[in-house]
Structures are given as C-alpha cells and as structure tokens.
Amino acid sequence: MATEEVNKSSSLLQYHEMIFAAIAALNDKNGSNKSAILKYIESKYRDLPAGHSALLLHHLNKMKNNGELVMVKNNYMRANLSSPPKRGRGRPPKPKVPLPPGYIPPPPRPRGRPPKPRDPNAVASPKVSSGKPRGRPPKMIGSAGSAKATTTTGTPRPRGRPPKRTLSGSRSTSPELASYKVMVMFKVSRVQSNPFDDQKPGTSGLRKKVKVFIKPHYLHNFVQSTFNALSPLKVKGATLVVSGDGRYFSKDAIQIIIKMAAANGVRRVWVGQNGLLSTPAVSAVIRERIGADGSKATGAFILTASHNPGGPNEDFGIKYNMENGGPAPEALTDKIYENTKSIKEYFIAEDLPNVDISAIGVTSFAGPEGQFDTEVFDSASDYVKLMKSIFDFESIRKLFASPKFSFCYDALHGVGGAYAKRIFVEELGANESSLLNCTPKEDFGGGHPDPNLTYAKELVARMGLGKTNPAQEPPEFGAAADGDADRNMVLGKRFFVTPSDSVAIIAANAVRSIPYFSSGLKGVARSMPTSAALDVVAKHLNLKFFEVPTGWKFFGNLMDAGLCSVCGEESFGTGSDHIREKDGIWAVLAWLSILAYKNKDNLKEGKLVSVEDIVTEHWATYGRHYYTRYDYENVDAGAAKELMAHLIKLQASLPDVNKIIKGIRSDVSNVVQADEFEYKDPVDGSISKHQGIRYLFQDGSRLVFRLSGTGSEGATIRLYIEQYENDASKTGRDSQEALAPLVEVALKLSKMQEFTGRSAPTVIT
Ligand code: VG1
Ligand code: CO
C-alpha cells in the first residue's frame, strides 16, 4: 500500500466532505454563505478541531481556488454540477448541457501560469490537459489510431525530460500545450473511516440516493473496499476505466475515484469525454481499446443507477466491471461487501488537482509509486468501430434511405443519445428529427430513464401506442434506451415487441441478417423470469440453451466459455458475446438488420415487411408466449418480505396450492412444480440460491415473484406472468386479456393487496 506519505490528517478531507454535505443540505440555489455552512457543520458534526472556523474558511478558499466551489456574492456553490464549469475566471461559460462525445471543444486554456515543460517535476498549474488537437479528430480510424491522435504520452518514465512528440493529425496549437505533459507531484493520504452497513451491491452494483452517496467517506469506502477485494495486479500498475451515464454527482465521483486510484497505485485511468460512457461502451472499451503505449484496461468503475431517476434527490450508482468487460461476479461483489463492513481507512491523493474531463488528452502526475496518468478520450469511437464490425451498415443505410422506412429513437435523456447521434444520424443517415431526448442530462429531464410503455411516454405516443392518435402517421420503427443505454425497447408502428420475444426473434434471424453471426450461434441464454420464447427457438434450431438468474453478470461465464452468442432478459435487456453487458444500441441495430434483410428486395417496390409482420410470422412458426410483468415499486420492505415468505410457505404442499388456485379460477391448469430458483453455473460450478419464487403449470404457464435488487428505497416486488399458446389461430389476442385468469390467480394467491395495500401495480409491461 502506498502509505509512506501519511502527512495529512483526515480532518482535511472531512472539511472537503462536510462543506459539500452542508451545501447540499442547505440546498439554496443561490449558494450558501460561510456562516450558514459553519452553522450547519457545527450542528451536524462532533469533535470539530480547535480553530474550526478558521479552518473552514481556509478550505472554502482552497476549494474555490481549485475549482470545486464557485463563489457568487459571498455565497458558495458547488462547481461542475448543474452546469458545466462555473469558473469565476478564464473562458466563457459553456452550454448548459453536457456535450456529446463527438464534440470537441476549443483548445483548453490552462488556468494560471503556463506549464513549464522542461521541468517535469515542477508543481505546475492544475488541470493541464496536454495535447488536444484542435477540431474534430479523425473519425474512427481504429482504436489505436484514435488513441494516437489524442495522446501525447508514450514512455512511462516518471522523471527526466518529457518525450518530445509531434501530435499526429493536429494543427499547430500552442507548442507548450501540444507537445508536453506536465508532471504534477502528489502525495498519498491515509484517511481513517468507519464502515457503513448498507453497501451491499444489488443486481447491478451499489445504488443509493445521491444524498447517501455524498455522505463523507461513503463513496470512498466502497471504492477502497473494491480495490481491497481485487487481486493486487488489478490495482497496482493497472489501467482502469472510470465513467458512466453522466447522472448528477458523476463528475464529483470521477474526481474522487481518480484521486483514490492514484493513491492505490493504479497506473492510469481512462475517462470518456465529460465522464460519459454508456455501460456497453465501457465493456467495449475494456475489451477493445488499446492505449497509445499499448496499455489495456483490466477493469472499470461504471457510474450509473441505470434506469433509476437522477438528480440531487434521486439515485446514484457504482459498479465494478472485470477484465472481460462484464459485471463483477457474485464472488467478488460478496467480497467487496465484506470489506465495506470492516473498512477502517482508505487512500487518496487529496492534492492531485481535478482533471479537466471535458478536454481530450493525457495528464500526467508523479506520485510516490511513480507516474500516474489520466486520459480523456472520445466516448463513442471504440463503440462505433465495434458496431461497424458486427453489422452490415451499408444494408441498414439502404433501409434508412428508403422512403418507405421511418425511424424514431428516444434516449430518455440518457447517455445513449450521444451514441444515437453518431450511429443513427452520422453513420446511417437517419434524420436528426428522428431523435428524441438525445441530449444527455444529469437528471434525465426529471423523468425515469426507463424504456417501457409507462416511462417512454413521448415515444409511445409518437408510435401510435398512446391513448390518443398521434398527429402524424407513426414511424415504422421506434426504440428507446435507459439512462446507461444498456436497455432497449423496440416498437413497430402501433406495435409493442416484448423483450422476451425480441431476443427470440433476434436469435431466430441472426445468422442470416447479421454478419457477426454468419457462421452460426454458439448457444443462447435467458434470465429465469424471461419468457420461454427463446427456449422454443433454441429447440427448433438445435442450439445450446441456458437459463440463468436475473442480472447480466450470470451470462459472462457462458460467453467467456464460448457457450452462448445471444442472450436476453425480459427487463428490456438484449445482447450478445460482442461485449459482456446488455447493449441497447446493439439491439436496435440487430432489429434494423433483420428489417433490412427481410426488405432487401422490396425497398423500391412492394410493401415493407414491418416489425409487426416479423413478430406475427415468428408466432406463427414458434407459437406465442403471452407475457406481462407487474411491478409494485417502493413497497414497504417488511411487507414485501412477508409476501415472499407467504409464497414460499405455500410451496410446501402442491395439492393445497392447487386447491387454492382452483378456488380462484377453475380454468387455469395445475401447478406441477413450485420452488425457489437456484442456479449452478456450468462453467465455474458456483451456486446462486433464492433467485425468485416460481410456480410452474402443467400447460407451460408460469408465475414468478422476485424482489428487485436495483431499487434504492423500500422494496419493489416484481410479478412475472407467462402463458404459451401454439394454436396459430389464437396468437393474436391482447396480452392483458389473454393473461387475465393467471393475473387473478397470482394476485389472490400472493395476497398482494393484503400485504402491500396496493390495488394496482406501479408499472405494467
Ligand atoms: C433489474 C432487472 C434485471 C436487470 C437489472 C439491471 O433488476 O430486472 O433484469 O439485469 O435491473 O439492469 P431487478 O433486480 O431490479 O429486478 V440495468 O439496465 O439497471 O443495469
Ligand atoms: Co441500464
């Protein structure tokens, strides 16, 4: 551990945190003055040091000078949150919205004194981002190419004369800026801390209210617990990616993680421009990106709470992804959790200046263990390049060019918008007006960035699925993404495709329509509550098939072992082994590929084969799995537990269950198996228990009950209902109507209203 220089008391850091906490709690849009902050801190914290008031002023000044706080009329506000750099000095304010990855801002002007390139050990001005060429960098020449175009560091030499490099592709900027990195010395502090008891990662990382995450030491403890859980080789000297969906608090979190990475001996941190990287893009970057000096990432902190809302009163999240690009498996998340329960200290390079994450380029620092670099890079190019290697963009371009085809994509103000612009508009020729809510926002415009029929309201209305008819004829194809762009909802004109059908249809058509799969599928997999539509395809096509618990982390081993090519979850997650995360834009491109393939001969004449045609044809071949999910969000946690316990207790006797069910509805089939789903990973043999309560019926129908592992408050009960119909004359019914008997059984059997007090779910999909 890098503990040699433990020369700062923890109180220094605490001030920093206490000030942020005070400003957040006082929550005054005009900021808070020193005495208000002082009062707040005195009321909330004990054991303040002697001279506390003077220390506070000292830290307020320091934080103002290093850009973390802004002072307006004697009031302090946080910088970097609701609007990009609110610096008092220097360049004019930037636009309010985070800039898309493709956008390259004008050359950064370092604050204060210009760097002294000839003395790399000098403590130079902070926030020097070296070597950013002016203008847009060459587009997607390959990850190595794009990295070269934006990087100036090459040799990992902490000392001595910095390498003189000419920037390929750059027009001449100020020579001091373009050719040299600046070494800023930093020290490592050991900070005492106490455990929090609520840092157990859920289905996909740790998700809590922002108010919880900004508590002093909270994020730090989790990050250090993760470092401590990793093998030392994945920390010391390693390359880590840190970025996310850009939600509120991300920019602060990135700076904290950079400082902690430096202090823990990480060699370099890669950050997507403006801190933006979709979850699938992080996975792609870990797997595909090669740094200018040949470096490869071995892991990532992804900062997202995915489909949960964002903003000061909403959610933040963090999860760790592994060298294969996938979420940490349970063995590691369990270890992280154990560490959070006993953590006593963490390491941080407090004096490391904040890195300007809006400017592409490398900044180098020198610490006790040698050089540490941060590299800010274009958020989209690695991902776009990967997509182009999977799909036939030319055939999709032809589809877009046809007057018969029309398109709409709603990013719900998540990070997906940045990729949608690059791929659908710039690469495939879609009209800019076909993009809805494609500017990433820290609070997702106040909505839930959750692509379903309830929350993707604008898209649903435009596609003709709303309560009233849209003013214009709906597009042929519509899709939406969640906050971190790993989810997708696919719609046709006045037509909803269930995610369970979507993965089955992609699997059934992949080999013909998508070049990446042309030599065949290795196998397919779905999460347990996902409908069995994929099972039927697997059987028809004689493919290996796997059923795993909820959460993408369970697909990783199968893919690494070459057992699975395409997989999906009912929760609007679809993906393949091109990365180790679900991938919202990939799913849209897969559907566009199927449409392009089915329509390749009739783009000029004849009728377009529509999304609805493709789905109904699929049902005619394989039968239809009627499917619905009821979510009861933010239910009392105790009540939810009791409901689950009740359902488990009922499973003790099948005859009794069947008696109750017949009493509710005599027209449903018999329960033949009732259990809690348990999974044994076929690759590493690990066992995951309690993965959902199942009631399986003789005719293939299923009821599944689970508690969500992604919420941040109370409990969310998910009820999944499914029924198979292979009589082609009966596959065209309304799904709620077809499932009504099973829904009634599920609600009464579980005593949903009795336990939760809810007469209706929050969301139905
Ligand atoms: C939900 C979904 C699950 C998905 C997970 C993460 O989990 O049901 O299928 O993998 O979210 O998705 P839970 O435990 O709340 O049911 V995301 O887009 O939040 O990374
Ligand atoms: Co997500």
User: Which element (helix H / strand E) includes 77?
Assistant: strand 75-78
Query: How many A from CA of 632 to the centre of ligand 1?
Result: 15
Residue 306 DSSP symbol: T
- Rounded distance, CA 742 to CA 721, Å? 7
3-class state of residue 12 by DSSP: helix
Phi, psi of 532 (to 5 degrees): -80, 15
- Name the 3-class secondary structure at 378: coil
Q: How far does the centroid of ligand 1 lie from the alpha carbon of residue 477, in Å?
A: 25
User: Which of 314, 330, 571 to mutate for ligand 1's pocket (most ligand atoms within 8 Å of CB)?
Assistant: 571
Q: Going by CA atoms, what residue is nearest to atom 1 of ligand 1? A: 710
Q: What pLDDT score was predicted for residue 121?
A: 37
- Determine the residue type at 575: G
Confidence of residue 118 (pLDDT cuts 50, 70, 90): very low
* SS3 (DSSP) at 754: helix
Instruction: Give residue 613's pLDDT band: very low, low, confident or very high (50, 70, 90).
Output: very high
Taking CA atoms only, the protein residue closest to ligand 1 atom 13 is 708
The greatest distance separating any two alpha carbons of the chain, rounded to the nearest whole angstrom, comes to: 85
Distance CA 549, CA 561 (A): 18
Identity of the amino acid at 394: E
Q: Can you tell me the mean pLDDT for 402-411?
A: 96
Among protein residues, the one with the nearest Cα to ligand 1's atom 2 is 571
Q: Is 463 exposed, middle or buried (0-12, 13-18, 19+ CB in 10 A)?
A: buried
In degrees, rounded to 5, the angle at the alpha carbon of residue 571 between the alpha carbons of residues 567 and 574 is 30
Answer yes or no: is the C-beta of 553 below 6 A from any ligand 1 atom: no
- For the chain, counts of helices (H) and of strands (E): 23, 30
Q: Has residue 607 got a pLDDT over 50?
A: yes
User: Does pLDDT of 287 surpass 70?
Assistant: yes
* Phi–psi pair at 704, nearest 5 degrees: -130, 135
Q: Which residues are part of the catalytic machinery? A: 306
Residue linked to tokens 């269930």: 498
Q: Is the pLDDT reported for residue 353 higher than 70?
A: yes
Q: Which two tokens stand for residue 358?
A: 């809006």
Q: How far is the CA of 487 from the centre of ligand 2 (A)?
A: 5
Distance 482 CA to ligand 2 centre (A): 5
SS3 of residue 27 by DSSP: coil
For residue 604, name the pLDDT band (cuts at 50, 70, 90).
confident
Give residue 259's pLDDT: 97
> Above 50 in pLDDT, residue 153?
no
Q: Does the structure show a pLDDT above 50 at 11?
A: no
In this prediction, residue 385 has a pLDDT band, given cuts at 50, 70 and 90, of very high
Per-residue confidence (pLDDT) for residue 120, from 0 to 100: 34
Helix (H, G, I), strand (E, B) or coil at 231: coil
Q: What is the pLDDT of residues 651-699, one digit of tens each?
A: 999 999 999 999 999 889 999 999 999 999 999 999 999 999 999 999 9
Question: pLDDT at residue 95 above 70?
Answer: no
- Return the exposure string of 347-383: e unless at least 16 CB atoms fall within 10 Å of the residue's CB, then b: bbbebbbbbbbbbbbbbbbbbbbebbbbbbbbbbbbb
Residue having the nearest C-alpha atom to atom 16 of ligand 1: 708
Alpha helices of 550-653 — where are they, by DSSP H? 556-560, 584-598, 611-622, 637-650
Atom of ligand 1 nearest to the CA of 204: 6
Q: Please tell me the predicted confidence (pLDDT) of residue 102.
A: 35
Nearest atom in ligand 1 to the alpha carbon of residue 203 is 14
Counting from 1 in the atom list of ligand 1, the atom nearest the Cα of 706 is 16
pLDDT in tens, 31-84: 999 899 888 888 887 767 666 777 788 788 888 877 788 888 889 888 754 444
Residue 169 has pLDDT above 90, yes or no: no
Q: Are strands 693-697 and 702-707 parallel, antiparallel or unpaired?
A: antiparallel
The chain-wide mean pLDDT, for the chain, equals: 85
CB 580 within 8 A of CB 567: no
Residues with CB under 5 A from ligand 2 (ion): 306, 482, 484, 486-487
Distance in Å, CA 343 to ligand 1 centroid:
28
pLDDT at residue 313 greater than cutoff 60: yes
